[in-house]
Amino acid sequence: MARYIFITGGVVSSLGKGLMAASLAALLQARGYKVRIRKFDPYLNVDPGTMSPYQHGEVYVTDDGAETDLDLGHYERFTGVSARQSDNVTSGRIYRDIIARERRGDYLGATVQVIPHVTDAIKEFALADVDDLDFILCEIGGTVGDIESLPFMEAIRQLRNELEPMQTLSVHVTLVPYIAAAGELKTKPTQHSVRELASLGIKPDILLCRSEHPLPEGERLKIAQFCNVRAEAVIQALDAPSIYSVPLQYHREGLDSEVLRGFGITDAREPDLSRWDDVTDRYFNPEGEVTIGVVGKYVGLQDAYKSLNEALVHGGMANRVKVNIRWIDAEVFEGNEADIVAELEPLHGILVPGGFGERGSEGKIASVRFARERNVPFFGICLGMQMACIEGARASGHASASSTEFGETNEPVVGIITEWMTQEGLQKREAGGDLGGTMRLGAYDAVLSPDSRVSSVYGGDTNISERHRHRYEVNVAYRDDLENQGLVFSGISPDGLLPEIVERPDHPWFIGVQFHPELKSKPFEPHPLFAGFVAAAVDQSRLV
Ligand code: GLN
């Protein structure tokens, strides 16, 4: 029987519910259980794919091609369980489906309403596809009391009644703020939040109290009493020195034992936490450090590059070094050679990440040129690979090389992809079509040249599968010119049409990939491209 853990948040947003869900799932997994985590997002976008990274942070892409909330990245990084389309739903998607059904006439004669139609759709989503699981953790986005999240709360309330008595558990994550002037931790916001949740018919079983200072026993008992939960179920969640210490920290605070007790499970085995011991050991005890510059557009908000940030940390763990990331705004240092040199010279590696639009592109191209000319390890991801090809084409004499994404050009080294093959058949797109959900999304295979650097990075594999999210593609018509200039196409789609990887064999480490390897990197299984890039940065750090 699959058991459900519903995770809600109160008091303020940004309490780290996603991380909490991921950590709890990792702890249950360490006890041998099969877990999956789902995210319910109350906003009206059908998916986050069309939102600015400044609004929503990174868009996380699953193997099956869904554009999802970045919390799914935490889930996957902490459990290794590949997230799926069916693990993230928004109010927008639910309403879209219901309205389409209404127009088709599926509800003929009935009034379509939030209860039962929307709540039923939410319950259906929660219950789908869970046969082989022990635990499903469902995180509700937003904060209790939000108007938008009410249908989700109501669906949970109903599910808690409809499922077996010991089949569901409610975990509420709150904040216990420290008031410096009084020198005290305050429990009142938590009491209010629990009251709000109770008014929606949901009684929390466990309270996870985020705080900057240890929760004194007296305050813990007070929360238990006022919030009507057992004292042991009030769990302190102190700020952690690293996200990767959170599973071990929650285990020490008794979170997983309390969850098992809540379900009445008495025969659980002790967790095997060796994976997390190793991860934290590598993180906290580096034997060196490197500095990597990420030249991007959304550098003011690190959530915009969440997976990238983590994958670089994992690359550091693989090499037992600390990776210092310098976020460089491509637009700011554009144009002025002296600025470019001053910014890039101290770096041991340069990474140009994925992105959209023309703004900052010349700065990105300039940093590719710097990396090429100065033999600095370079890693280009998606838009970064496209910039590497434009830079190579310019170096080979195509002075006006550009991308059609940036406007009309007579040298379209990068152009819109209009056709590609999927398992479901040929996909077609045209310029000016819908922007939502229409990119080349999800896992696609690539074939690597056997003697390339990239195939040795992948341990000799010549067939790989990686996740994509792009509308534009390097134009194979420029292949010969680029290869003559030294930029070799070392990975290509199985039909030979879409360039997937480029590299410079005469450079210490210069690789551009059309996909997003950062999405599949895990702390306990660093992605080989990030491990390889950081290793090259370590070599570089010995030179400068
Ligand atoms: N904007 C580029 C494209 O659509 C790159 C996308 C990306 O970096 N994810 O192809």
pLDDT tens track, the chain, 544 positions: 899 999 999 988 878 899 999 999 999 999 999 999 999 999 998 888 888 877 778 999 999 998 998 899 999 999 999 999 899 999 999 999 999 999 999 998 899 999 999 999 999 999 998 879 999 999 999 999 899 999 999 999 999 999 998 999 999 999 999 999 988 899 999 999 999 999 999 999 999 999 999 999 999 999 999 999 999 999 999 999 999 999 999 999 999 999 999 999 999 999 999 999 999 999 999 999 999 999 998 887 878 899 999 999 999 999 999 999 999 999 887 777 888 888 899 999 999 999 999 999 999 999 999 999 999 999 999 999 999 999 999 999 999 999 999 999 999 999 988 777 777 777 777 777 777 778 889 999 999 999 999 999 999 889 999 999 999 999 999 999 999 999 999 999 998 889 999 999 999 999 999 999 999 999 999 999 999 999 999 999 988 7
The finding on whether 41 has its CB within 6 A of some atom of ligand 1 is no
Residue for token pair 């001053």:
342
Q: Which atom of ligand 1 is nearest to the CA of 381?
A: 8
Task: Give the pairing of strands 178-179 and 184-185.
Answer: antiparallel
Side-chain-side CA neighbours of residue 146 (13 Å): 19
| Contact (Cβ atoms closer than 8 angstroms) between residue 60 and residue 69 | yes
Cβ-proximal residues to 68 (8 Å cutoff; 6+ apart), any chain: 39, 47, 48, 59, 60, 61, 62, 83, 87, 88
Q: Is residue 470 within 6 Å of ligand 1 at its C-beta?
A: yes
Q: Could you give the CA distance from residue 376 to residue 374 in angstroms, rounded to a whole number?
A: 5
Tell me, what's the pLDDT at 54?
78
**Minimal CA–CA distance to 303: which of 66, 56, 68?**
56
CB of 405 shorter than 6 A to ligand 1: yes
- 126: Cα separation from own chain's centroid: 21
Which atom number of ligand 1 is nearest to the Cα of residue 473? 10
For 134, the token pair is: 């022990």
Q: Ligand 1 test: best mutation among 406, 469, 513, 519, most atoms within 8 Å of CB?
A: 469
SS3 per residue for 410-423: CCEEEEECCEEEEC
The pLDDT value given to residue 52: 81
Sketch out the chain's domains with CATH numbers. 3-278 (3.40.50.300), 286-415+473-541 (3.40.50.880)
Distance 468 CA to ligand 1 centre (A): 9
pLDDT of residue 503: 97
To test ligand 1's pocket by mutation, which of 359, 365, 382 has the most ligand atoms within 8 angstroms of CB? 382
Beta bridge partners of 39: 88, 139
Active site residues: 382, 516, 518
Supply 535's token pair: 């290793």
pLDDT for residue 427: 76
As a 3-state breakdown, the chain gives helix, strand, coil percent values, each rounded to 5, of: 40, 25, 35
Quick check: CB of 469 below 6 Å from ligand 1? yes
What integer pLDDT is reported at residue 416 of this predicted model?
A: 86
Joined tokens for residue 34: 């099969």
What is the rounded CA–CA span in Å between residue 346 and residue 323?
14
Please report where in the chains the tokens 């979170």 appear, as a residue.
255
pLDDT at 430: 75
CA-to-CA dists, residue 416 to 235, 353, 402, 430, 472, angstroms? 52, 19, 12, 8, 4
pLDDT for res 202: 95
**Burial of 212 from C-beta contacts in 10 A (0-12 / 13-18 / 19+):** exposed
pLDDT at 436: 76
Give the atom of ligand 1 at the shortest distance from the alpha carbon of 439: 4
Ligand 1 nearest atom to the CA of residue 405, by list position: 1
- Please choose, from the candidates 74, 58, 61, 70, the residue with its C-alpha nearest in 3D space to the C-alpha of residue 19: 74
Name 337's Cβ contacts closer than 8 Å, sequence gap at least 6.
none
CB 256 within 8 A of CB 271: yes
Output the CA 6–ligand 1 centroid distance in Å. 35
